[in-house]
Structure 1
Amino acid sequence: MNRKANENAIEVRGLTKRFGQRTAVEELSFAVPRGSIVGLLGPNGAGKSTTLRALVGLLEPTSGECLIHGSPFSALDNPATHVGVHMDGFGFEGGITARRHLEICRLAAGAARGRTEEVLEEVGLAADARRRVKTFSTGMAQRLGLAAALIGSPRTLILDEPANGLDPDGIRWLRRFLRSYAERGGTVLIASHQLPELEQVVDEVVVIKQRALFAGRLEDLVTGGADSLESRYFDLVEGASA
């Protein structure tokens, strides 16, 4: 994918991350164009979580760089207004209400006073705003995590398995929400194992197994409609193991 830097919301350039003798990702490069939804795919241990954590400044690359809107995460002015993040390990204080959790996020992001109520409506949790987070189902917690990611009105979202725990209605809602977000000019990088669902929403895919096995448009991977994303994914991953 040869694009000018200003056309990309996210760029990963030659990312290598080693933990002692173990290499999590090696010379990984890909870009996420503005206004698109891109799926980050790979088997367990392929380096997806490492890549996402390097992108949002939770890990220091051994070499290479990760850029969001042209800058490392650490250099972004008020990061919550640039990128919203929802990943495994970003937990909640179970004893507080959903509204209180989002109020804390709003204050940290410097967002306007009414933003909490807006995102509660946006993710369908307005009726549950006074419930304590510890009473939430997995699907409701996913919606709350997405609400927290949206609190700063970011132009880009980085999401790790956001459909986990959602029922079919919730999955359909998430698909429609992400497409609407992209149509309004937002950008989404989404890591997921739910390949059939991803196929219905992404514009591009990045398949990795320490390195990039494919990075490009979905239609270029799933040629002529004869193959599914799932079948082509396994072709790539199993081929890399041979």
Structure 2
Amino acid sequence: MDKHAIEVRGLTKRFGRRTAVEGVSFVVPTGAVVGLLGPNGAGKSTTLRSIVGLQAPTSGESLVDGVPFDELDDPASHVGVHMDGFGFEGGITARRHLEICRIATGAERARVDAVLEEVGLAGEGDRRVRTFSTGMAQRLGLAAALIGSPQTLILDEPANGLDPDGIRWLRRFLRAFATRGGTVLVSSHQLGELEQIVDQVVVIKRRVLFTGPLEDLVGGGGESLESRYFDLVEGATA
């Protein structure tokens, strides 16, 4: 049986009368880059937050390396997370922010400089976070996700605010991370960029519309991920 870095099984989350996701099931194979796609309000962030224990599902479960997130020993070594809502204290430096993350995860001191270098912020560690552009803040968020040397990254719209050079850098970084044996689950609206790096795709609109290899979705007829994505979501009921 293939090993899966992440398994989502029958995930349903309701907020009062509103159902954010219903019966969502998919797997993220170890060593793959998997794109989680869907329109605004489709339940992508709800799904990601449920995987990493930030909210309890109404029913169903999510597993990371075979166990629920809150049962992981040393969770930061299993999964690094960067998503909306993970803010920064603007008055401290980037280095101080990462030092707080390092202490919280139990990582070695050397990891702060290592991750600053890894995300291209080696010369910016002593700048206060409030002076960062949106793109620099995205890189800092990725650095924080990497601080525990995780095997898996879960990223929610990591390309927001990046310029074209930054987007190209992110694409290469994520592909290299997977080539070294890491796993990536990434939510993004930038379908053209995702098509260049993902191995598999999960498309949701409250329910799963497609899950599987990218090539199974786009086929051999020259269709793009974007065109097939809109075929799915526009034909789905809410």
Report the Cα distance in structure 2 between the residues aligned to 1:149 and 1:62, rounded to whole angstroms. Answer: 27
- Give percent identity, aligned residues only: 78
**Superposition RMSD on alpha carbons, in Å?**
0.9
Structure 2 residue aligned with 1:52:
48
Provide Cα deviations, 1:197-229, integer angstroms capped at 9, x if missing partner.
110110000000111100000011011151100
Tell me whether 1:186 sits opposite 2:178 in the alignment.
Answer: no
Q: Which amino acid aligns with 2:80?
A: G
Structure 2 residue aligned with 1:105:
101
**Number of aligned residues:** 238
Provide Cα deviations, 1:44-69, integer angstroms capped at 9, x if missing partner.
11110100010010110110000010
Question: Please, which runs of 5 or more residues in structure 2 have no aligned partner?
Answer: none
Provide Cα deviations, 1:84-119, integer angstroms capped at 9, x if missing partner.
000000000000000000011011111111110000
Report the TM-score, using the length of structure 1 for normalisation: 0.97
Structure 2 residue aligned with 1:96:
92
Q: 3-state DSSP class of the match of 1:67?
A: strand
Report the Cα distance in structure 2 between the residues aligned to 1:133 and 1:71, rounded to whole angstroms. Answer: 35
Q: Which amino acid aligns with 1:56?
A: V
Q: Which amino acid aligns with 1:107?
A: I
Q: Which amino acid aligns with 1:123?
A: V
Report the Cα distance in structure 1 between the residues aligned to 2:236 and 2:169, rounded to whole angstroms. Answer: 35
Tell me whether 1:173 sits opposite 2:162 in the alignment.
Answer: no
Report the Cα distance in structure 2 between the residues aligned to 1:113 and 1:226, rounded to whole angstroms. Answer: 49
Structure 2 residue aligned with 1:62:
58
Report the Cα distance in structure 1 between the residues aligned to 2:68 and 2:141, rounded to whole angstroms. Answer: 23
Structure 1 residue aligned with 2:214:
218
Equivalence map 1:132-147=2 (5 Å): 132-147=128-143
* Structure 1 position 241, deviation (Å): 3.0
Structure 2 residue aligned with 1:7:
3
Provide Cα deviations, 1:1-35, integer angstroms capped at 9, x if missing partner.
xxx3x610000000011111111101100000000
Report the TM-score, using the length of structure 2 for normalisation: 0.98
Equivalence map 1:6-45=2 (5 Å): 7-45=3-41
Structure 2 residue aligned with 1:241:
237
Q: Which amino acid aligns with 2:217?
A: L
Report the Cα distance in structure 2 between the residues aligned to 1:59 and 1:102, rounded to whole angstroms. Answer: 24
Q: Which amino acid aligns with 1:88?
A: D
Q: Which amino acid aligns with 2:58?
A: T
Q: 3-state DSSP class of the match of 1:66?
A: strand
Distance 1:111 1:225, change over 3 A: farther
Tell me whether 1:150 sits opposite 2:170 in the alignment.
Answer: no
Report the Cα distance in structure 1 between the residues aligned to 2:123 and 2:209, rounded to whole angstroms. Answer: 44
Moved over 4 A (4+): none
Report the Cα distance in structure 1 between the residues aligned to 2:154 and 2:30, rounded to whole angstroms. Answer: 13
Report the Cα distance in structure 2 between the residues aligned to 1:164 and 1:225, rounded to whole angstroms. Answer: 31
Report the Cα distance in structure 1 between the residues aligned to 2:15 and 2:164, rounded to whole angstroms. Answer: 38
Tell me whether 1:87 sits opposite 2:86 in the alignment.
Answer: no
Q: 3-state DSSP class of the match of 2:235?
A: helix
Question: Please, which runs of 5 or more residues in structure 1 have no aligned partner?
Answer: none
